[in-house]
Copies of this chain bind each other. A is one copy, B any other.
């Protein structure tokens, strides 16, 4: 079985190939499928009212391919039409549960640099959903791998709070916690929470060529989450040499994150231009990693 490959093709067909995508073979699936758009675009125009029925055959295969203790991270956000939010994402979550997935969590990805604009009835949309699904409740989760320095997350209040105030507040909720307050305060790194804010200064700086390859710009491919997003989930749900699948890999961000973290990757992309770009970006990322030890 081959890993570290980007396949060109339609996930809805390719994922059914059991010789390529064996059952229970993948540790983590991270993907950001094309969102539902009322109007068709060059890339991935799935109509909102058909979204769930379009996605379910794919997620059925993903369930098969994922290891029993693996995780599935789905980055998605509904849009607005005629002043109302679309409902297909809510319906998708319910449908995925019907299909057997456990809905473990919904992370909020807070995008500070959201698209500008002003409308009469709405402000700018600055967050997206990152759903965490699993096959069973005993999934693997390496929480220590994503600890953050205290102060990075908005511990402002704790910093300004006196020690006494802090103890009092904590002990008001749970006495066991109260006892451990000193530990928390003295610890250099703490566990994060379920609101994700990716600020470059807080993470390893990745060379520009990998982040925004010139050849991939100005293509109509809109969907790039920052490298930090898959990086975070890969650290949290896999160990080195683990296998990460992205069935809508686009220009390869998930694969790059996996490669840089010494994990193995599998990607599928329907637009051959993007698939090629993804392969080249991964190659460049690996080269940079080997050279400079990124």
A residues in contact (CB < 8 Å) with B: 80, 82-85, 87, 90-91, 93-94, 97, 102-106, 108, 110, 112-118, 120-127, 137, 139, 141, 143, 153-158, 169-170, 172-173, 177, 184, 190-195, 197, 199, 217-218
Contacts and interface: CB of A to CB of B under 8 A. Distances in A.
Contacts of A117: 177, 191
B123 A191 contact: yes
Contacts of A103: 84-85, 87
A114 B193 contact: yes
Contacts of A153: 112
A137 B82 contact: yes
Given A126-B193, A169-B115, A108 B108 contact: yes
Given A115-B177, A184-B116, A218-B172, A126 B83 contact: no
14 contacts: A83-B102, A84-B103, A84-B137, A85-B103, A87-B97, A108-B108, A108-B127, A108-B195, A112-B153, A114-B193, A115-B170, A116-B184, A126-B195, A172-B218
A118 B87 contact: no
A158 to B, nearest CB: 7
A104 B122 contact: yes
Given A121-B141, A126-B194, A177-B117, A108 B105 contact: no
Contacts of A104: 83-85, 121-122
A112 to B, nearest CB: 4
B123 A194 contact: yes
Nearest to A166: B115
A218 B172 CA distance: 6
Given A83-B137, A124-B194, A157-B112, A217 B172 contact: yes
Contact of A190 (B91, B116, B156): B116
A122 B194 contact: yes
The 5 A-B pairs of least Cβ separation, nearest first, read A112-B154, A126-B193, A113-B157, A124-B193, A83-B137
